Amino acid sequence: MKRGVTIGQAAEFVGVTVKAVRHYHKLGLLPEPQRDSSGYRRYGSGDLLRLVQIRTLAAAGVSLAEIGPLLDADTTRFAATLADVERQLTERIADLTARRDTLHRLADGDRTLLPDRAVALLKRMRGLGFPAEEVAATREAWVLARALVPDGFDDYLTHFEYAVSDPHLLELTRRAAEAATWEPGDPRIDELATAVADHYLADPALLSTVTGLRARNQAATRYRLIAHHGEQPTPAAARLTALFETRLRSAGVVIP
């Protein structure tokens, strides 16, 4: 009878696959045992013991790369390393937990990708009779804005809340939405742009909903992306925006 067990037996005893055992050999974690006359590996009790130790540590979350040195280290370093590994595990757990919470908020109805305040504002827009597509476009723009200019987003929301509670502005905005369907040459566009611009200029708090996202690094590019998102602008809408911005600029407002 040949002494020592085959790889299959060793693997089964310890509760691991044959492939895993060979993997440990390749990593130098487990020394290659002697071979019998036909080239089969033959494992003795010492090998099995080592294998058990490897599995115990691996099951506890120690990476294979760390196990080798660990098993050969003295008690002090052994304990220290284990403590370190434990810390890493704790970190990963915290990370995963945070992810799960994010996910939970994400999955929870409509508050997809936006904070509660923003969701509430969008709802209010719908309640005020804004067309569904415009609300949807606004939502997208906000998602973008929050990602691109996170620091300014809260302020922006605050100002937007203020703007929404202004009946005159609401009326103007509603007309601006209609305007997208007008002829680009329609003289009412000019008139409307002036009216809106004047209203903004008359109220510094309101004005900052426009300028609030400015004044950061790479501001111009980011602003353009946000401001012109979702447009495929009709010529009339484009003209309205252009006139509006021109008028603000000529009044000394800095728009990127």
Q: Which residues bind DNA (CB under 7 A)?
A: 6-9, 17-20, 22-23, 36-41, 58, 63-65
Which residues ranging from 161 to 180 are in contact with its own copies (CB under 8 A)?
none
Least separation, in Å, of the C-beta of 65 and DNA? Answer: 5
Buried b / exposed e across 12-38, counting CB within 10 Å, b at 16+? eebebeeebbeebeeeebbeebeeeee
CB-wise, 114 or 207, nearer to its own copies?
Answer: 114
For the chain, how many residues are written?
Answer: 256
220 binds its own copies (CB under 8 A): no
Q: Residue 41 or residue 146: which is nearer to DNA going by CB?
A: 41
For its own copies, the binding residue among 8, 31, 44, 184 (CB under 8 A) is: 44
> 71 and 53 in contact (C-beta within 8 Å)?
yes
From the CB of residue 57, how many other CB atoms can be counted at a distance below 10 Å? 20
Q: Which stretch binds its own copies (CB under 8 A): 106-114, 121-129, 174-182, 183-191?
A: 106-114
Contact 128, 170 (CB under 8 A): yes
229 binds, among its own copies, DNA, none (CB under 5 to 8 A by kind): its own copies
Number of Cβ within a 10 Å radius of residue 121: 19
Among 65, 73, 128, 147, binds its own copies (CB under 8 A): 147
Q: Measured from the CB atom, is 82 or 206 closer to its own copies? A: 82
Report DSSP letters for 213-251, one per residue.
Answer: T-SSTTHHHHHHHHHTTT----HHHHHHHHHHHHHHHHT
Please give the Cα distance from 156 to 98 (Å, whole number): 26
**Cβ(138)–Cβ(125) below 8 Å:** yes
9 or 165: CB nearest DNA: 9
Cβ neighbours around 87 below 10 Å, total: 10
- Name the residues that contact its own copies, by CB under 8 A: 5, 9, 12-15, 44-46, 48-49, 52-53, 55-57, 59-62, 78-79, 82-83, 85-86, 89-90, 92-93, 96-97, 99-100, 102-104, 106-107, 109, 112-113, 140, 143-144, 147-148, 218, 221-222, 225-226, 228-230
